[in-house]
Structure 1
Amino acid sequence: MDKSPDAYWKATLRLIGTVLVIWFAVSYLAGIVFAPALNSIHLGGYPLGFWFAQQGSIYVFVALIFWYAKKMDDIDREFDVHED
């Protein structure tokens, strides 16, 4: 396995790209673009599109923070740049 700074940077950028794609899909696509289609599904008595726009995206964003921190720690350990 390549442990060069370039490989570390590539792994970090891949993770950031993944987080940004999830963020975009949840906030813009589910909350705005596909909200009318999602509104036919109900979650807790509310239309799903409305739920994503109002609170669902917040839950996903908080989960993304913890997931990102865990994955970044994994990358740091893989490239031996972690802090103990």
Structure 2
Amino acid sequence: MSEKQKHASAYWKENVKYLSILLTIWFIVSYGCGILFKDALNEIRLGGFKLGFWFAQQGSIYVFVILIFVYVRIMNKLDKKYGFDE
């Protein structure tokens, strides 16, 4: 395996690691907070709505959008680290 292929393989491996972490966070927020833990979260109110309901309806979407921006920032740093930036 050439040095360039090792470099690209390390880049891809790190990319998949970050992607897995971010998708796990999104899964926990959307499925966990919206479905599994909704009864406990419904004891808390946010803007007049039960927190479990809020996560099921809007919170997971907000978290997903935030995670997109986090992913872009992480990938920009990763591109610079491996020399793939423009």
Tell me, yes or no, whether TM beats 0.5.
yes
Matched, 1:10 2:27: no
Q: After the TM superposition, which segments of 4 or more aligned residues of structure 1 sit over 6 Å from their partners?
A: none
What TM-score do you get using the length of structure 1 for normalisation? 0.89
Aligned positions, number = 81
Q: C-alpha distance in 1, partners of 2:36/2:63? A: 17
| Offset at residue 6 of structure 1 (A) | 2.3
RMSD: 1.2
What TM-score do you get using the length of structure 2 for normalisation? 0.87
Could you tell me which residue of structure 2 aligns to residue 58 of structure 1? 61
Matched, 1:72 2:62: no
Query: Unpaired segments of 5 or more residues in structure 2?
Result: 1-5
User: Given residue 73 of structure 2, which amino acid in structure 1 is its aligned partner?
Assistant: K
Q: 2:46 aligns with which of 39, 43, 48?
A: 43
Identity %: 54
Higher relative helix content: 2
